[in-house]
């Protein structure tokens, strides 16, 4: 019986501490979740690299973009509003 009372008293103290300091265990759980999610960052970078395409490197002279492209980056010149490709004119907003 004495151990049960000790356990309940301990649990009450833990509950009071958690009510006042809820952010500490939350941050620990958040950090663990981020570590699990991003522990294979090489795979995430490969996905991003295949989804993004540099305009100068691959599509400066292309009239159509591959279906897998999600973003096109313009690095300096030519500026996006100065390019006359159909796909760019369709999607570019000033």
Its domain, for residue 54, covers 44-94
Confidence at 13, pLDDT banded by 50, 70, 90: very high
pLDDT 10s digits, 36-56: 877 777 766 766 665 555 555
Q: What is the pTM of this model?
A: 0.35
Q: Identify any residues that bridge with 73 across adjacent strands, giving them in sequence order.
A: 54
Say if residue 54 is in the same domain as residue 89: yes
Residue (of 54, 80, 56, 52) closest to 68 by Cα position: 52
Say if residue 60 is in the same domain as residue 17: no
Residue (of 39, 85, 46) closest to 68 by Cα position: 46
Say if residue 56 is in the same domain as residue 90: yes
pLDDT 10s digits, 73-85: 777 777 777 777 7
Asked if residue 32 has pLDDT above 80, the reply is yes
């Amino acid at each position: 019986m004495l151990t049960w009372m000790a356990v309940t008293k301990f649990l009450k103290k833990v509950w009071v501490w958690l009510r006042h300091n809820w952010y500490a265990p939350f941050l620990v759980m958040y950090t663990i979740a981020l570590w699990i999610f991003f522990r294979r960052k090489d795979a995430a970078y490969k996905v991003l690299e295949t989804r993004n395409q540099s305009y100068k490197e691959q599509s400066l002279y292309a009239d159509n973009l591959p279906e897998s492209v999600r973003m096109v980056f313009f690095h300096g010149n030519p500026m996006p509003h100065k390019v006359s490709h159909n796909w760019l004119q369709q999607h570019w907003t000033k």
